[in-house]
Structure 1
Amino acid sequence: MGSIETRQWVVQKYGGTSVGKLLDTITGTIIPDYLERFKVAVVCSARSGTQKTQGTTSLLLEAIHLATSSETSTVELDQVIDIIKQEHLEAAEVTVGGADQREGAQAVLGELLGSIENDCEHLRSFLKATWTIGEISERTQDRVLAVGETLACRLVVASLKVKDIDAEVVVLDDIVQKTYGSRQKELAAAFRRHPAKFLGGLAGAIRKKIDGCKERVPVVTGFFGAMPESLVSSVGRGYSDLCAALCAVAVGAEELQIWKEVDGIFTADPRKVKSARLLATVTSEEAAELTYYGSEVIHPLTIEQICNAQIPLRLKNVKHPERPGTIVFPSLGSPATSPKSTPGNSSPSQYRRTPTAVTAKDSITVFNIRSNGRARPQEFLGQIAQRLGRHDYTIDLISSSQQMLSLAVSSDGSSKSNGNIEETVAELSEIGIVTVARHMSIVSVVGHKMKNMVGISGEVFSALASARVNIYLISQGASEINISFVVKAQDALLAMEVVHTNVMRIPLHSEQENSFIRGPWLY
């Protein structure tokens, strides 16, 4: 075991469900094991239950909504804050209370309970002041949501301390202002011009915060505010992954690890396709495409940060820390970009490469718009995008001719986009004849440099035709590693299985089982 000065950094990010259900494994097994070989920085999301809607962040968003919409009383607001406080107090008792036989455990517990009380009561007074005003700024919203990560980090630090590992909470709620100042208009403009560059500039402020812990384990809040236009709106709910990537860049980490309750990235969703196999490595480009088209892999801005810094990312399973997981290599110079070859044959040209994975994105709507001729061709798409944007639709795929557009779009899940499809059609009808197909899915076949795999498209669509899967829209060419097509939602699983079996050459689960029972021993 090297000295603390010579060891390399590893940054580990833990999701809210892991912190909520598997904290003892994290602080009793995983972190101590890595501390024998590395300096470890830990990044935590806010605690959550079995569903995101029951997690701390969702409760805080509900509290913000009540503080700005309830006109009669703060009773419901108090109830939500009480739930947050009680859940964390109970978690504290479970986390530290069971260690009361250890020296100093009661002092750790007392400090933890006091911090939780103070955080929640400060939150209560803050939101009641907001209720009096009746509105909340984006920067203030960030301050409220940061409480969730702070509470989670306090639990992790306490759990480490009762296991004789010194640790410290690192709160990142002021790093944007320390780096760029507090002029919101200028911050928003800088972020919109170049998000990756803006975020990369935070590394210095993060490094100072982590260095301040000296030999203590830094336990970092996964929420870094206050971002321009609020962190949730500018980055989305995957901000803690991005925070971990920024920490990895800041300390020059050997590896960024994101710990989940799955083994890594599979060739398909193993909950849907039983024959799916774990991938040992993928490129960052493949991970980004899989994330966008339906697989919960990692936030795209996270991938951009680790690529720029050439830091590998490893996805690991909290329940099975001994398993190797999946490594996401930065695309430049990664092993995954080199040509594959079969044993005994070093010629890549003679090896038939196949796609890496297949995924599906559900809740898709297809709009077909034929121009009425009043808009010039170069204005046609812009007018459509503007109208869809007003109703919170995101354009995922486009197929076009000069006077006809087919668009596969997804919504953000808001009632605005889900409930106003008729209004959207009415607006689109101002510029063309509109037809709509609802309850569709996008199936995406992803593989590094797949554009250069001669015949892959033909194989995909031939296999789908044989299975009688009707295709409504096809997109290939914008990304060299992705072939995407739209099918009815009811056909999405069949389409994935057909591609997985016939194009990726991975046998069905039943065929794999049968392969183990063939042979002379049956006699």
Structure 2
Amino acid sequence: MPPTTHLRSPPDDPKAQWIIQKYGGTSVGKFLERIASEIVPAYMATNHKVAIVCSARSGQTKALGTTNLLLQAATEALCGDDAATPSGSLSNSVASLTNGTQTPNHRPGSAFARRPSSRASSAKPESLSAVALDNKLAQLELTKATASPAAPPAENGTSSDSSDTEAVATAAAPAVGYNATVDRILSDHIASVRKAVAKDLELREQLERDIVEDCERLRDFLMAAKIIEEISPRSKDVIIGVGEKLSCRIAVGALRDAGVEAELVTLENIVDPALVANIGQDSQGEFTLDQSFYDSLSVALGERLKACKGVPVVTGYFGNVPGSLLSQIGRGYTDLCAALCAVGVGAQELQIWKEVDGVFTADPRKVPTARLIPSITPEEAAELTYYGSEVIHPFTMEQAIKKAIPIRIKNVENPGGSGTVIFPDVPEGQDGSKDKLVDGHVDQPRPPLTPSASIANFGAWGAAGKHLATTPVHGAERKLPTAVTIKDDVLVLNVHSNRKTVSHGFFAKIFGTLDKYGVVVDLISTSEVHVSMAMAAGIRPRTLDKLKAELQKVGTVSVLRDMAILSLVGRHMRNMVGVAGRMFTVLAEGNVNIEMISQGASEINISCVLHEKLAVKALNLIHYSVLEVSPKPSNTESGAFGRSFF
């Protein structure tokens, strides 16, 4: 990055505590200016060291985000469409793979050597304008074609004009396949650079060059995959890692343009090869990453962040994990990276920034009276995540919580709100002042104040900061469940025994068959001769047919489609008499039929399966009758709102 004057650096105070902020793709895509000019500087002003972890950017939705486009490009590279690859580029890649030569642009540790390109030259290209972006992309293809090895001389000893014409025609043709997808990624990020960096034109031009170079490296990687007709799981990791790198480049530019010193931190080589060498494999050849791996990784991340002189902007992608990052951890690896960063630096708290104020008692888009939950336990957050409310993955929570680092869900559109904090309850008799707990809740770092940051933004906390999850009722404390959630798009698979096997053999064959086809069950209800299982309806039809055919050997199989799981969650439910009875009575009074019921031994969650078309009605009934703070009279006499659901 070119030097920018008067950049504000993080506090030099050795007592300054760290705050790790993780931003999702849509937050980076839509609110980067607010992040760079308001949120990060405000926390720095309160003597905090801030590090941010970015997901690959998205425009409006995750479905149209960069990660999905990268996975699409990987698929297109193997589609067999020869027209997707310009012949000049293909010949170059074949030559480089055959000769094994390294070019001046070869990167150590890169899967493939980078061929020389006029785009990577030291000459500074002119800045891209919004109008000329499509022309620039076409020019990039033309440059690639004309940079090919010279065509064989014609019989008269001169270059063939027809070859030049063919090269120009090839470059001028519309890009297809993975080339078109890479062009789209490039176009989106160039447009984002122009929006994010408005003041420092030199910085903007450098960012444009870096992003073009990253996209061309991606194009070469996909081209090589097309040649060998294979993309391994680790190669797919490398491909999706490009998204976070592009996102973080733009975030660094936005921060520097806003006057904040920032530093790009890429983690391709953060995993210690010596540590990887000690990782074992199970009987099926799968790598097993134990807790010692994550502990060592968090130490390495902490050292890397502490060495930064500016605000570290960290890619969620953290290198070559044995067995592939996607298969070992899944697409939630960015949250895990943020948690490990928080552990590594001993952060005051880990903040997960979303486009909602925090965790609510129900989906506020479906339940008008849903309210913000100021604090929940990790167990409650895990249950809500499993059953439809996207909070944070339980394994990610575990990494931070076991080191006494609170996790706070915050709203990038309302930085002054307190959000929802995830932290265990204070054990009875323990002095909360010895921990990070004060009066039963976690004191958050002073948030950036905005004109809208009134007490109303602090959810269910009263003016005195008192938690309203329990409220006095006629002189006694009334305990309430924490939240109710719905998981849509569910099917129920029923198996009724043919009585040819004893009960334990019946169960063994069912669970063995589920394991054979890799089917995950959300809920299960059993008797000696009958098993009902609720699972995601997204299971492949062919897999479902095979599963049914095999289960029919032990009994009669039936499938109920268009179902939903309703779950009532709360740590107080362990000591609440009659909450299950009240829940099912309310549903019965609302004429909601229940297909299946399940309650775990922990008594923190009561779930039932009902028809999808009744899900929103059931959600409102339960929230109004079981989760409302003020005591309610009989349901049918509690006003127009209550009666409208019965």
TM-score by shorter chain over 0.5 = yes
List aligned pairs for 1:316-395, cutoff 5 A: 316-331=410-425, 333=427, 335=440, 342=471, 350-395=476-521
1:454 lines up with 2:454 in the alignment: no
Q: State the one-letter code of the partner of 1:83.
A: R
Does the CA-based 8 Å contact 2:302-2:343 persist in structure 1? no
Per-residue CA deviation, residues 265-294 of structure 1 (Å, 9 max, x unaligned), is 110000111111111111111111101100
Q: State the one-letter code of the partner of 1:41.
A: A
Does the CA-based 8 Å contact 1:27-1:159 persist in structure 2? yes
Q: 1:110 aligns with which of 194, 199, 205?
A: 205
Does the CA-based 8 Å contact 1:168-1:218 persist in structure 2? yes
SS at match of 1:9: strand
Q: 1:9 aligns with which of 18, 35, 55?
A: 18
1:88 lines up with 2:189 in the alignment: yes
Does the CA-based 8 Å contact 1:283-1:336 persist in structure 2? no
Q: State the one-letter code of the partner of 2:178.
A: L
Q: Give 1:212's aligned residue.
A: 307
List aligned pairs for 1:142-221, cutoff 5 A: 142-178=237-273, 180-181=275-276, 186=281, 196-213=291-308, 215-221=309-315
Q: Give 2:169's aligned residue.
A: none
Aligned equivalents of 2:471 and 2:192: distance in 1? 52
Deviates more, 1:70-79 or 1:156-165: 70-79
Query: What is the number of equivalent residue pairs in this alignment?
Result: 500
SS at match of 1:5: coil
Does the CA-based 8 Å contact 2:356-2:410 persist in structure 1? yes
Does the CA-based 8 Å contact 2:483-2:570 persist in structure 1? yes
CA RMSD of the aligned region, Å? 2.9
SS at match of 2:82: coil
TM-score w.r.t. length of structure 2: 0.72
| Change in 2 beyond 3 A, CA 1:342/1:54 | closer
SS at match of 2:271: helix
SS at match of 1:176: coil
Deviates more, 1:117-126 or 1:373-382: 373-382
Aligned equivalents of 2:381 and 2:286: distance in 1? 24
Q: Give 1:475's aligned residue.
A: 598
Q: How far is 1:258 from its partner?
A: 0.8
Q: Give 2:551's aligned residue.
A: 428
List aligned pairs for 1:239-258, cutoff 5 A: 239-258=333-352
Q: How far is 1:394 from its partner?
A: 1.4
Deviates more, 1:153-162 or 1:135-144: 135-144
List aligned pairs for 1:28-67, cutoff 5 A: 28-37=37-46, 38-67=48-77
Aligned equivalents of 1:295 and 1:166: distance in 2? 36
Deviates more, 1:106-115 or 1:225-234: 225-234
| Change in 2 beyond 3 A, CA 1:190/1:289 | farther
Does the CA-based 8 Å contact 1:266-1:357 persist in structure 2? yes
SS at match of 1:47: coil
Q: State the one-letter code of the partner of 1:267.
A: T
Does the CA-based 8 Å contact 2:565-2:609 persist in structure 1? yes
Q: Give 1:24's aligned residue.
A: 33
Q: Give 2:122's aligned residue.
A: none
Q: How far is 1:175 from its partner?
A: 2.7
Q: 1:498 aligns with which of 602, 609, 621?
A: 621
Q: Give 2:91's aligned residue.
A: none
Aligned equivalents of 2:441 and 2:506: distance in 1? 40
Gaps of 5+ in 1: 100-104, 516-523
Max radius of gyration: which structure?
A: 2
Aligned-pair identity in percent equals 44
Per-residue CA deviation, residues 47-85 of structure 1 (Å, 9 max, x unaligned), is 012121210000010111112333534340111111111
TM-score w.r.t. length of structure 1: 0.89
SS at match of 2:520: strand
SS at match of 2:188: helix
Does the CA-based 8 Å contact 1:451-1:477 persist in structure 2? no
SS at match of 2:20: strand
Deviates more, 1:144-153 or 1:477-486: 477-486
Q: 1:407 aligns with which of 508, 518, 533?
A: 533
Aligned equivalents of 1:466 and 1:179: distance in 2? 63
Per-residue CA deviation, residues 418-454 of structure 1 (Å, 9 max, x unaligned), is 4553333222212221111111100000001412211
Q: State the one-letter code of the partner of 2:245.
A: T
1:463 lines up with 2:586 in the alignment: yes
Aligned equivalents of 1:127 and 1:433: distance in 2? 48
Q: How far is 1:239 from its partner?
A: 1.9
Q: State the one-letter code of the partner of 2:271.
A: V
Q: State the one-letter code of the partner of 1:443.
A: L
Deviates more, 1:378-387 or 1:199-208: 378-387
Does the CA-based 8 Å contact 1:69-1:134 persist in structure 2? no
Q: State the one-letter code of the partner of 1:118.
A: E
Q: Give 2:375's aligned residue.
A: 281
Q: Give 2:80's aligned residue.
A: 70
Aligned equivalents of 2:285 and 2:260: distance in 1? 40
Q: How far is 1:190 from its partner?
A: 11
| Change in 2 beyond 3 A, CA 1:178/1:106 | farther
